[in-house]
Amino acid sequence: MGYECFEVERDAKVATIRLSRPERLNAMTRDFWVELPAILRGLEAEGGTRAAVICSSGRHFSAGMDLSLFRDGAALETGSVAARERFRRQLIALQGSFEAVSAARFPVIAAVQGGCIGGAVDLVTACCLRYCAADTYFVIQEINLGMMADVGTLQRMPKQLPEAVVRELAYTGDRLAAGRAERLGFVNGVFDGHDALVEGAHAVARRIAAKAPAAIAASKDMIGYSRDHSVAESFAYLNALQPGVFDIDAVARAAAAGKDGPAPEFEDLPAIDPPIKP
């Protein structure tokens, strides 16, 4: 399937989702918001993807929301109850596009170079892991445009960075450079160039893809739940989740392979059948 904003390919259980409009700095048009969740849900439904890397082409990862979206005055009106409800529904739809990243059964890794601006920060905060090039910077650009960030940055980033740092970035619109982002734990690693970055992110994705996918999916689910709940609540959730996903055959294969043996083979996650229709 062809896309306006992305190129998608899969190799050895790892999907690459590449933003492909460098001439527009990979700005997020209307097509972007529709295509990204469709891509992720499609990969999730067929079951063979075990990890995905979101990367981009060109000098910058993404300039964020395409400004053409702000030219539709009617869509942004808040002068009546009906207008405010329309505005709210559009926010929910935009947030849902990135929730598809967070909710996917497989880990999603962001490989970021150059500018990661505005809506692009919302996107990478929804990813499980973040790697970047040495020239990368992150900007909560919305405050520089007279508005509050509203598609996930202010909900996810305070759980990924110290609160005081998030406040600084959200109030000033200043850049968070790659080195500081790594020191603070927001990114997992920094690479010297774009090619090394993309290969490094894919190397991590391939290591993830070699593990038991049901256990990876459950681990992603468990970490997300624990982030938002108490220790006691998280243990209760684990005690319900683990019996449903524990596979003694997968454990036996992993144990038999040992440290130096051949990599064990695991079954893909089952495909997701469409809902039964009357």
Q: Per-residue DSSP letters for 63-95? A: --B-GGGGG-GGGG--SSHHHHHHHHHHHHHHH
pLDDT reported for residue 1: 66
Which of these three, 209, 240, 261, is where a domain ends?
209
Whether residue 197 is found in the same domain as residue 235: no
Helix (H) or strand (E) holding 111: strand 108-112
Q: Quick check: 225 pLDDT over 70? A: yes
For the residues 236-252, what does the mean pLDDT come to?
95
pTM metric for this prediction? 0.94
In the chain, which residue ranges form alpha helices assigned H by DSSP?
30-46, 81-103, 119-125, 153-156, 163-172, 178-183, 194-209, 213-228, 231-245, 248-257
pLDDT confidence tier of residue 198, bands split at 50, 70 and 90: very high
Q: What number of residues does the chain have?
A: 278
**Least confident span in 95-109, 196-210, 237-251, 252-266:** 252-266
Percentage of the chain exceeding pLDDT 70: 96
For the residues 49-71, what does the mean pLDDT come to?
91
CATH, residue 253: 1.10.12
Distance CA 86, CA 150 (A): 15
Whether residue 151 is found in the same domain as residue 41: yes
Distance CA 185, CA 111 (A): 15
What are residue 189's phi and psi, to 5 degrees? -175, 155
Distance CA 144, CA 56 (A): 24
pLDDT reported for residue 72: 64
Which of these three, 161, 194, 209, is where a domain ends?
209
Whether residue 175 is found in the same domain as residue 233: no
pLDDT reported for residue 92: 95
pLDDT confidence tier of residue 277, bands split at 50, 70 and 90: low
Whether residue 179 is found in the same domain as residue 45: yes
Whether residue 187 is found in the same domain as residue 150: yes
Whether residue 157 is found in the same domain as residue 41: yes
Place of tokens 């624990």: 226
Whether residue 178 is found in the same domain as residue 216: no
pLDDT reported for residue 79: 86
Whether residue 253 is found in the same domain as residue 184: no
Q: Quick check: 149 pLDDT over 80? A: yes
Whether residue 226 is found in the same domain as residue 177: no
Tokens standing for residue 13? 């259980």
pLDDT reported for residue 274: 78
Whether residue 252 is found in the same domain as residue 116: no
The CA distances from residue 151 to 65, 81, 84, 118, 154, in Å, are 10, 22, 17, 9, 8
For the residues 170-198, what does the mean pLDDT come to?
98
The answer to whether residue 1 sits within a structural domain is no
DSSP 218: H
Distance CA 34, CA 95 (A): 12
pLDDT reported for residue 142: 96
Return the CA Rg of the chain: 20
The answer to whether residue 165 sits within a structural domain is yes
Whether residue 84 is found in the same domain as residue 173: yes
The CA distances from residue 71 to 16, 90, 118, 203, 272, in Å, are 32, 15, 17, 41, 38
Which structural domain range is residue 254 located in? 212-278
Tokens standing for residue 45? 């439904």
Q: Quick check: 278 pLDDT over 60? A: no
Q: For the chain, what is the mean pLDDT? A: 94
Q: Is the torsion defined by CA of 192, 187, 12, 253 positive or negative?
A: positive
Which of these three, 209, 228, 257, is where a domain ends?
209
Distance CA 93, CA 34 (A): 9
pLDDT tens digits, 72-127: 666 678 889 998 999 899 999 999 999 999 999 999 999 999 999 999 999 999 99
- Residues 6+ away with beta carbon under 8 Å from 34: 97
pLDDT reported for residue 147: 95
